[in-house]
Structure 1
Amino acid sequence: MLAQQRQAAILDRVRATGGVRVGELANEFGVSDMTIRRDLDLLHERGLLAKVHGGATVAGSTDEPGFQAKSVRQQAEKAAIATGAARLVHPGAAIALSAGTTTAELARRLVDVPSLTVVTNSLPVADILHDQGRDDQTVVLTGGVRTPSDALVGPLAVAAVRSLHLDLLFLGVHGVTDRAGFTTPNLMEAETNRALVAAADRLVVLADHTKWGTVGLSAIAPLSDAHVMVTDDRLAPEARRLLGDRVGELLVVPATGPGGLR
């Protein structure tokens, strides 16, 4: 195997599993640990993965872009995902929306659904719903410490969520991998999100195709906890097959056509 082929295979493995070890790769490819380390150095220098002691993980596992920075990414995909997810909401439901730009898109599509109770730890989501001034909707904003993604997290948020019983949680995530599940780079946000998952009867994960192969520092939930995952049609076929086997239902929506911006 040529070095370039080996490096491509290593990168595929990191994206699929979230992380690799030098010794395991050396045994698999029949080369020395030093050769693998040089491969990892090269991939790290190109920004394609992050080196850690004894191996490597997906690049950006601890990076957390701000809400505004993320809001301009994958706009067509997020719009389509939000439109598809909105169809799962029925009048009179008690739902939760976690922080994130995709859940904010979903909030914009819920303003006309009557008699909703919406619990959120997202300042943008709360603003979107509050600005409508509907008397038949209740918006509950948790307290807590504000993160770069405009989430309110920490003990106050967790305590508020633990006292609630919700029909649906719509969860935005930083990364999705087979091994790590649904993840975020923020430890406190992960704790708050885990409380939201526990409070809801059903978990709906909203994640565009770029989230696949990315792993954040802290786990929220395994793939099998998702009753539904809504993603876009640019997700790779292999990822679709894996997720289709692991989540309750995989809903793939086209990023063109109704709800898309392309």
Structure 2
Amino acid sequence: MLADARRSAIVATVSRERVVRVSNLAEQFGVSLVTVRRDIEALDDAGLVQKIHGGAKLPGGASTHEPGFELKSTLGTLEKRAIAREAELLVKDGMAIGLSAGTTTWALAKELSSRSNLTVVTNSVKIADVFQEAGSRVSVILTGGERTPSDALVGPIATQSMHSLHLDLLFLGVHGVDADAGFTTPNLLEAEMDRALIEAARKVVVLADHSKWGTVGISTIAGIEDVDEVISDDALGVEAQRILRERVARLRLVSVTPHTPAP
């Protein structure tokens, strides 16, 4: 394979996997590690990939941009619905659970809205509205605080409200997942609130579709090793799967098909 064709293939692989290792690329293309490193350096210079220790990732630095809830709710809807249905299986009657703000946790709220004998603590007005509009018998505790563009309630009032609460299970939505940065968000106050939710929970499950891998927000919520489980979809890249399986107690991957019925 000529260098130009190989480099185009490397860009395609990085776009698909989001993070790749030099050794895997060398094996994939049947070339030496030195050749792959030179390819990555050239692609890094061109701004097409970002060189990292031992591999390459999608380009881009830490993000401070926070898309609004309405925009995010239209992205990856099949993945989010499938992840939410898998997460719902973990919820047992009588539990006190936390749902952080986010569109995947919002999808989970829809799955839970027909349940009863549950207590849900959330810092999301959108999630609280799901239970209210469904006439749900779930007991919902909504924190106070200031609202962000993603409809999360944050700030001192929000975090203080968590200090005396105890959760059996927390479902955490995130902006990005990165091998080094961990689980991140572009909002500093939201990261602080999410950490308060984590501290209140006996078990933490991150809900993140494959598109979150390799994305880095400016603020780390938690390291990969700091959560108990991750639920994602089966389009998650091979390298991402390897890293998560090594560093969390359990990785659940759900299958996504276009025939998933609407709720």
1:163-216 deviations in Å (ceiling 9; x for gaps): 110001000001001111110010000000000001000001000000011111
Pick one of 87, 90, 93 that aligns with 2:92. Answer: 90
Aligned residue in 1 for 2:80 = 78
Aligned residue in 2 for 1:62 = 64
Per the alignment, do residues 233 and 152 of structure 1 end up closer, same or farther by CA in structure 2, a change over 3 Å counting?
Answer: same
1:254 maps to a residue whose letter is S
Pick one of 105, 108, 114 that aligns with 2:107. Answer: 105
CA drift of 1:3 comes to 7.6
1:14-45 deviations in Å (ceiling 9; x for gaps): 9539xxxxxxxxxx9579xxx96x855632xx
Q: Does 1:150 align with 2:143?
A: no
Contact 2:128 2:140 in 1 (8 A): yes
Query: Gaps spanning 5+ residues in structure 2: where?
Result: 21-35, 51-57
Q: What's the TM-score, normalizing by structure 2?
A: 0.80
CA drift of 1:4 comes to 8.1
Question: Aligned equivalents of 1:228 and 1:64: distance in 2?
Answer: 25
Matches within 5 A, 1:166-177: 166-177=167-178
Q: What's the TM-score, normalizing by structure 1?
A: 0.80
Question: Aligned equivalents of 1:223 and 1:239: distance in 2?
Answer: 11
Question: Aligned equivalents of 1:111 and 1:232: distance in 2?
Answer: 23
Matches within 5 A, 1:10-21: 12=14, 15-16=18-19
CA drift of 1:132 comes to 2.6
2:235 is paired with a residue whose SS is: coil
CA drift of 1:144 comes to 0.9
Q: Does 1:128 align with 2:125?
A: no
Question: Aligned equivalents of 2:62 and 2:4: distance in 1?
Answer: 24
Contact 2:19 2:239 in 1 (8 A): no
Query: Gaps spanning 5+ residues in structure 1: where?
Result: 18-27, 50-55
CA drift of 1:117 comes to 0.6
- How many residues align? The count is 238
Aligned residue in 1 for 2:257 = 256
Question: Aligned equivalents of 1:74 and 1:30: distance in 2?
Answer: 35
Contact 2:18 2:237 in 1 (8 A): no
Per the alignment, do residues 260 and 62 of structure 1 end up closer, same or farther by CA in structure 2, a change over 3 Å counting?
Answer: farther
2:212 maps to a residue whose letter is K
Task: Note the aligned Cα RMSD (angstroms).
Answer: 3.0
Aligned residue in 1 for 2:224 = 223
1:250 is paired with a residue whose SS is: strand
Question: Aligned equivalents of 1:254 and 1:241: distance in 2?
Answer: 18
2:92 maps to a residue whose letter is H
Aligned residue in 2 for 1:23 = none
Contact 1:15 1:177 in 2 (8 A): no
Matches within 5 A, 1:240-255: 240-255=241-256
2:253 is paired with a residue whose SS is: strand
